[in-house]
């Protein structure tokens, strides 16, 4: 065979092979683009679904926390009322204690006076007895 003919045949075969490769690459690219598009759509759908689910859970958690916060606020309001009542009661007890302290001071003063009188009378009785006037 002639070398020139062999070259033409090889060139022709290479050209055909290139065309087939280009055609298959083009088809492969189309498949990849189609698959990527499909995957992208599925991913977007999944993300949208997950985001929706997350929003619902987030809203539910916020509602639960708001309810709990309202409950805590009510409890604190009651604690404030109780503390105010306790302050009023303690103020009353303090006034009563002050009155008792004042009364005890007065009683002590009276007892001291009485004791002086008793001591004085005791001395007088002792003097009188010493003089012999009292039997």
Which segments within the chain are labelled E, that is strand?
none
Report residue 132: phi and psi, to 5°: 95, 10
* Domains of the chain by residue range: 1-135
**What are the tens digits of pLDDT across the range 66-122?**
999 999 999 999 999 999 999 999 999 999 999 999 999 999 999 999 999 999 999
**What pLDDT shows up at residue 134?**
53
**What pLDDT shows up at residue 5?**
82
**What are the tens digits of pLDDT across the range 41-53?**
999 989 998 999 9
Query: What is the average pLDDT value for the chain, to the nearest integer?
Result: 91
Q: How is residue 116 written in tokens?
A: 């002086």
Name the maximum alpha-carbon separation found in the chain. 181
Q: What is the pTM of this model?
A: 0.45
The HSE-up count of residue 70 (CA atoms within 13 Å, CB side) is 6
Asked if residue 106 lies in contact with residue 115, where contact means CB atoms within 8 angstroms, the answer is: no
């Amino acid at each position: 065979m002639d070398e020139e003919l062999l070259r033409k045949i090889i060139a022709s075969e290479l050209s055909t092979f290139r065309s087939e490769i280009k055609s298959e690459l083009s088809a492969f690219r189309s498949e990849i683009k189609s698959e990527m598009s499909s995957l992208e759509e599925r991913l977007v759908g999944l993300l949208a679904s997950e985001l929706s689910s997350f929003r619902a859970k987030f809203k539910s958690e916020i509602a639960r926390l708001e309810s709990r916060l309202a409950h805590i606020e009510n409890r604190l309001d009651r604690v404030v009322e109780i503390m105010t009542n306790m302050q009023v009661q303690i103020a009353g007890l303090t006034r009563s204690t002050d009155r008792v302290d004042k009364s005890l001071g007065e009683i002590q003063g009276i007892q001291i006076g009485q004791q002086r009188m008793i001591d004085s009378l005791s001395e007088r009785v002792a003097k009188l007895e010493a003089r012999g006037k009292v039997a």
